[in-house]
Amino acid sequence: MRDGLVRQHHRTLRLLGSLLLVAVGVCATGAAPARAAAPTPLDRVVPAPASVTPGGAPYRITRGTHIRVDGPREARQVAQYLADILRPSTGYRLPVTTRGEGGIRLALTRGDFGAEGYRLSSSPRAVTISARTPAGLFHGVQTLRQLLPAAVERDTVQPGPWTVAGGTVTDTPRYGWRGAMLDVSRHFFTVEQVKRYIDQLALYKLNKLHLHLSDDQGWRIAIDSWPRLATYGGSTEVGGGPGGHYTKADYQEIVRYAASRHLEVVPEIDMPGHTNAALASYAELNCDGVAPPLYTGTAVGFSSLCVGKDVTYDFVDDVIRELAALTPGRYLHIGGDEAHSTSHEDYAAFMDRVQPIVAKYGKTVVGWHQLTGAAPAEGALAQYWGLDRTSAQEKARVVKAAQNGTGLVLSPADRAYLDMKYTEDTPLGLSWAGYVEVRRSYDWDPGTYLPGVPEGAVKGVEAPLWSETLEDSGHIEFMAFPRLPGVAELGWSPADTHDWERYKVRLAAQAERWNALGIEWYRSPQVPWGAQ
Ligand code: ACM
């Protein structure tokens, strides 16, 4: 029913949009082509670029344009990715070449771009994206997409013209951690659904996909040494649906696809709480030796691994070993939130035994910020998900940990949680952290959010999306858009570009792109969408 409501809303909007287009077409008959508009200004991009110098005549992609790239395979893959975006809508061949003058050029160079930065220069002769790494080229390609008309995103031939304003964009991210979390446990999402979200994250230069792979309602990753976790623990979800799990090959396909979009997968196995699916699958993991039934509700805080049993650590070792072997990224997230059924002493003892296991398998620990109530391992990151009303004592623990070297990823629930309802009328989502409209999700500064945290301790931001109420890609998108691009901007753009009045205009310009891509979105009254 919720799905129906959202879709109905969007069908109505699309219908209105089509009628408007027809009206424009009728008015424009016999006049100059309505589309010969000025090219998109170089600064009308989300996230806001670090530096923009407009000037000179625009570049125009034509039937004769080629995409030149020289460099390793990863650079050629970025050129191929760009060609795959441009070919269907332009109808041009756009061959990827290693030679030739002019055209679109991707160049790996030694410049001072940082690990993920790039420079985009546009003139009538060429558009050149220069970067030190393929990731930088990839982010530059995202900027180029947004400088072209939104119709470039369509998968059928469009009229053009395909112009890029003249000038130079020089850009590099503020933070190295720009994440999005998807909860595939409360409701399971297929590999194809996850790939679709990955493509949407890439558009806004995010670079971490945190997958919440286990919770009370479902275990979603095959573990060979404990097979019932997936086959039984993964066999349902919130509301009692069939759930599902990723085979190792499925998970590796997600990792591969994410890497092709320059995102690193951060897998999470939540423990010692949020473990009913595991406890239901193996009786020996329970202190009383009795497996509870599978759970399909939405309560939290009722489950715990048995901290005093040795088999618990054999289990954790096996799971982390197998998951680490499948994961090329640096990080492994061990959850640690809402362990309300575990005493403080047991929680600290558990984390003291589990964190070295993560290190043993070559990974860096990430935990929800409750980890700072135990002893975070050296180099660990804590993901802060508190909110304005979080106690001063709890905030002080996080600040102290940061002062002692624990890095922070900021996901304040009343700002960055994409599953919070926008308003009381939002048909999807939860509201325990309050309503989070678009301005609220954008209008904060990660650098000063927790007073007392040393500047270098903030590693970045992440937008979690919990899926208690979300069942398909349309639901994911309706909650993520338009808030996700705002969190992405907080992670990428320099603090001095932060300005709601200007941001909302750049954000509004994105809607035409979402429509072209078939992305569902919430038409927030705070944003001047225009005729979209
Ligand atoms: C959380 O929202 N329980 C991390």
Q: At what angle do helices 248-260 and 310-326 cross, to 10 degrees?
A: 50
Q: Is residue 62 part of a domain?
A: yes
Residues in contact with 414: Cβ distance below 8 Å, sequence separation at least 6, in sequence order: 387, 388, 420, 433, 434, 436, 440
496 half-sphere exposure, CB direction, 13 A CA radius: 2
Residue having the nearest C-alpha atom to atom 4 of ligand 1: 337
Same domain membership, residue 430 and residue 324: yes
Q: Is residue 11 part of a domain?
A: no
Residues in contact with 391: Cβ distance below 8 Å, sequence separation at least 6, in sequence order: none
pLDDT tens sequence across 328-374: 999 999 999 999 999 999 999 999 999 999 999 999 999 999 999 99
pLDDT tens sequence across 373-416: 999 999 999 999 999 999 999 999 999 999 999 999 999 999 99
pLDDT (average), residues 102-112: 94
Question: What element of type H or E holds 139?
Answer: helix 134-147
> CB of 103 within 8 A of CB of 46?
no
Same domain membership, residue 415 and residue 323: yes
Provide the token pair at 158. Answer: 């469009």
Annotated catalytic, 338?
Answer: yes
- List, as one string, the DSSP characters of 407-466: EEEE--HHHH-TTB-SSTT-SSSB-TT----HHHHHS--TTTSSTT--GGGEEEEEEEE-
Average pLDDT, the chain: 94
Ligand 1 centroid to Cα of residue 385, in Å, is 7
Give the angle subtended at the CA of 278 by the CAs of 272 and 281, to the nearest 5°.
155
Same domain membership, residue 166 and residue 193: no
Of all atoms in ligand 1, which is nearest to the CA of residue 383?
4
Residues in contact with 321: Cβ distance below 8 Å, sequence separation at least 6, in sequence order: 361
Dist CA 459 CA 383 (whole Å):
10
Question: What element of type H or E holds 480?
Answer: helix 473-480
* CATH code: domain of residue 73: 3.30.379.10
- Note down the domain range covering 363: 177-498
First to last CA, the chain: 25
Mapping DSSP to helix (H, G, I), strand (E, B) and coil, where does residue 264 land?
A: strand
Residue 71: predicted pLDDT: 87
Q: Is residue 515 part of a domain?
A: no
Bond prior to 173 in cis (omega within 30° of 0):
no
Q: What is the DSSP code (8-state) at residue 283?
A: G
Residues in contact with 26: Cβ distance below 8 Å, sequence separation at least 6, in sequence order: none
Dist CA 466 CA 453 (whole Å):
27
pLDDT (average), residues 129-147: 98
Residue having the nearest C-alpha atom to atom 2 of ligand 1: 385
Q: Is residue 245 part of a domain?
A: yes
> CB of 447 within 8 A of CB of 458?
yes
Given pLDDT bands bounded at 50, 70 and 90, which one contains residue 16? Answer: very low
Q: Is the pLDDT of residue 510 over 90?
A: yes
Residue with the larger pLDDT of the pair 21 and 303? 303
Given pLDDT bands bounded at 50, 70 and 90, which one contains residue 102? Answer: confident
Of all atoms in ligand 1, which is nearest to the CA of residue 413?
2
Please give the tally of structural domains in the chain.
2
Residue having the nearest C-alpha atom to atom 1 of ligand 1: 337
Q: Is the pLDDT of residue 29 over 60?
A: no
Substitution site in 268, 298, 337 for ligand 1 pocket (most atoms within 8 Å of beta carbon): 337
Q: Is residue 276 part of a domain?
A: yes
pLDDT (average), residues 468-486: 98
Residue 101: predicted pLDDT: 87
Dist CA 304 CA 114 (whole Å):
43
Same domain membership, residue 210 and residue 158: no
Percent of the chain with pLDDT strictly greater than 90: 91
pLDDT tens sequence across 163-216: 999 999 999 999 999 999 999 999 999 999 999 999 999 999 999 999 999 999
Ligand 1 centroid to Cα of residue 55, in Å, is 47
- List, as one string, the DSSP characters of 327-382: --SSEEE------TTS-HHHHHHHHHHHHHHHHHTT-EEEEEGGGGGS-PPTT-EE
Residue having the nearest C-alpha atom to atom 3 of ligand 1: 337
Number of H helices, E strands in the chain: 16, 19
Same domain membership, residue 217 and residue 107: no
Dist CA 188 CA 255 (whole Å):
17
State the amino acid at position 346 in one-letter form.
D
pLDDT (average), residues 505-516: 98
Same domain membership, residue 325 and residue 253: yes
Q: Is the pLDDT of residue 1 over 80?
A: no
Same domain membership, residue 209 and residue 144: no
Q: Is residue 323 part of a domain?
A: yes
Query: What are the C-alpha distances in Å from 351 to residues 181, 370, 373, 406, 503?
Result: 22, 11, 10, 15, 41
Query: Per the residue annotation, which of 74, 116, 237, 338 is the catalytic one?
Result: 338
Q: Is the pLDDT of residue 461 over 90?
A: yes
Residue 331: predicted pLDDT: 98
Same domain membership, residue 167 and residue 188: no
Torsion of CA 50, 489, 180, 386, to 10 degrees: 120
Provide the token pair at 60. Answer: 């125009």
* CATH code: domain of residue 269: 3.20.20.80
Q: At what angle do helices 473-480 and 191-203 cross, to 10 degrees?
A: 20
**Beta pairing, strands 214-215 & 167-171:** unpaired
pLDDT (average), residues 455-467: 98
Percent of the chain with pLDDT strictly greater than 70: 93
Q: What burial letters (b/e) apply to 294-326, b meaning 16+ CB within 10 Å?
A: bbbeeeeeebbbbbeeeebeebbbbbbebbbeb
Last residue within a domain, chosen from 123, 153, 171: 171
Burial of 241 (0-12, 13-18, 19+ CB in 10 A): middle
Q: What burial letters (b/e) apply to 127-150, b meaning 16+ CB within 10 Å?
A: bbbbbbbbbbbbbbbbbbbbbbbb
Given pLDDT bands bounded at 50, 70 and 90, which one contains residue 531? Answer: confident
Same domain membership, residue 182 and residue 128: no
Around ligand 1, the residues with Cβ closer than 6 Å are 337-338, 368, 385
Dist CA 383 CA 335 (whole Å):
9
pLDDT tens sequence across 249-290: 999 999 999 999 999 999 999 999 999 999 999 999 999 999
Q: Report the phi/psi class of residue 22: left, alpha or beta, with left for phi > 0 and alpha for psi in -120 to 50.
A: alpha
pLDDT (average), residues 508-530: 98
Q: Is residue 6 part of a domain?
A: no
Same domain membership, residue 219 and residue 83: no
Last residue within a domain, chosen from 156, 171, 186: 171
Same domain membership, residue 166 and residue 202: no
Ligand 1 centroid to Cα of residue 58, in Å, is 47
Torsion of CA 84, 90, 96, 101, to 10 degrees: -150
Please state the φ and ψ torsions of residue 420, each to the nearest 5 degrees: -75, 140
Ligand 1 centroid to Cα of residue 336, in Å, is 9
Dist CA 87 CA 94 (whole Å):
7
Last residue within a domain, chosen from 171, 188, 220: 171
Q: Is residue 436 part of a domain?
A: yes
Same domain membership, residue 327 and residue 409: yes
Ligand 1 centroid to Cα of residue 253, in Å, is 27
